[in-house]
Homo-oligomer: A and B are copies of this chain.
Amino acid sequence: MAGNTFGTAFAVTTFGESHGPAIGCVIDGCPPGIPIEAAEFRTDIERRATGKSRHTSQRREADEVEILSGVYEGRTTGTPIALLVRNTDARSKDYDRIAEQFRPAHADYTYWHKYGIRDPRGGGRSSARETTMRVAAAVIAKKWLAERHGVRVRGHLAQLGELTPRAFDWSAVEDNPFFWPDATMVPELEAYMDALRKAGDSVGARVSVVAEGVPPGWGEPLYGKLDAELAAALMSINAVKGVEIGAGFDCVVQRGTEHRDEITPGGFLSNNAGGILGGISTGQDVVCSLALKPTSSLRLPGRSVDIRGEAVEVVTTGRHDPCVGIRATPIAEAMVALVLIDQALRHRGQCGDVGPQSPLIPATP
């Protein structure tokens, strides 16, 4: 209830501050029998890592995941899986000044008011470093979803400030540090980022995630709707200010005849719904999109107050991304995967009788 557990059937509890001894998570409810080893976490952890390129911030940590429990002889046992990552790059420096100031657009001010105390080192609990554990937990989720249901979850950057892709190719996405689906634009993006860095400013981004292969029937109406849980999951990522499913805000100007996805014996004719109707998956691609605000830590000074309410000028020095949205791509994928496995397990719990063996008309194929 205090907010650090995500999911109910596949429940991920994360812990850790940016500059404390370690970050980690506990996954409770994982299906038993999934083969997993520590090395499998590397790819996605690396994709999210802040030191991936010069276009994202410069923290370079090994981020080796240690499996502390829940796996025996290379398979999940159904008991809690604890994953641990030590913070090796937590530089000791003088936090006294930052500890007394509230950086604009950061969580400093609100943590202070909520708890009456805060860990100011590197953003403490509110740092995006925590998302490492979301990505780690989702590695197991993605694996089960793929092996058990053939589900594939992948994302890409859909907008970087004013720039949008002029072409779309999934195969390009993993070949550039921007998760950008149009390879020809990469030099343009690099120049754009360099200009921002030079100016000491930052910009927002849009990320899209698509889940293919989701069978019809996942989602728990009315308050555990698949889209409602996706919205919460994505909005819980640092810096996110908006979430869309399918047509999203474009639906405001659509006509009903245009928006409704007609159905034929061969399938749906469009996907404005983003694969979800009434909060339940339709069997089409689940499509969602999120808006990330520009990085708040800037070299350009900003006005603020300190803990005594006096005016101060805040300048952030050191490493930072001109666009935090870029590395949100694997995090957004992770959150979608975590929602899907959770809904899949809950659906199986309640509706496992639905099918040929039941008195009901066969449902999920």
- Asked whether A252 lies within 8 Å of B292 as measured between CB atoms, the reply is yes
- Rounded to whole Å, the gap between the CB of A188 and the closest CB of chain B is 16
A103 to B245, CA, bound (A): 20
* Residue of B6, B204, B244, B351 touching A242 (CB-CB under 8 A): B244
A176 within 8 A of B: no
A167 within 8 A of B: no
Q: Which residue of B lies closest to A207 (CB)?
A: B252
- Asked whether B125 lies within 8 Å of A77 as measured between CB atoms, the reply is yes
Which residues of chain B come closer than 8 Å to A3, judged between CB atoms?
Answer: 28, 219-225, 279
A126 within 8 A of B: yes
A49 within 8 A of B: no
* Interface pick from A39-47, A52-60, A177-185, A341-349: A341-349
Taking each of A77, A307, A358, which has the highest tally of chain B beta carbons within 10 Å of its own beta carbon? A77
- Asked whether A265 lies within 8 Å of B311 as measured between CB atoms, the reply is yes
Residues 269-280 of A, flagged 1 when their CB comes within 8 A of B and 0 if not, give: 100111011111
A296 to B292, CA, bound (A): 31
Q: Which residue of B lies closest to A324 (CB)?
A: B256
A14 within 8 A of B: yes
A319 within 8 A of B: no
Residues 247-259 of A, flagged 1 when their CB comes within 8 A of B and 0 if not, give: 1111111111111
Which residues of chain B come closer than 8 Å to A283, judged between CB atoms?
Answer: 113
* Residue of B130, B222, B360 touching A117 (CB-CB under 8 A): B360
What copy number does this chain have within its complex?
4
Once A17-B69, A124-B77, A292-B251 are accepted as A-B contacts, the answer to whether A350 and B345 lie under 8 Å apart by CB is yes
A68 to B277, CA, bound (A): 25
Residues 330-365 of A, flagged 1 when their CB comes within 8 A of B and 0 if not, give: 000000000000000111111111110011111110
- Asked whether A118 lies within 8 Å of B302 as measured between CB atoms, the reply is no
A111 within 8 A of B: yes
A262 within 8 A of B: yes
- Rounded to whole Å, the gap between the CB of A122 and the closest CB of chain B is 12
A170 within 8 A of B: no
Q: Which residue of B lies closest to A263 (CB)?
A: B304
* Residue of B79, B241, B292 touching A244 (CB-CB under 8 A): B241
- Rounded to whole Å, the gap between the CB of A14 and the closest CB of chain B is 7
- Rounded to whole Å, the gap between the CB of A318 and the closest CB of chain B is 15
4 shortest interchain CB distances as A-B pairs: A107-B278, A3-B220, A349-B349, A3-B224
A-B contacts, 6 listed (Cβ < 8 Å): A33-B116, A78-B351, A110-B278, A231-B231, A265-B305, A265-B310
14 further interface pairs, Cβ-Cβ under 8 Å (given A9-B349, A79-B124, A251-B291) = A1-B9, A2-B9, A3-B221, A5-B5, A9-B350, A16-B68, A33-B354, A33-B360, A107-B221, A112-B363, A113-B280, A159-B252, A204-B252, A232-B232
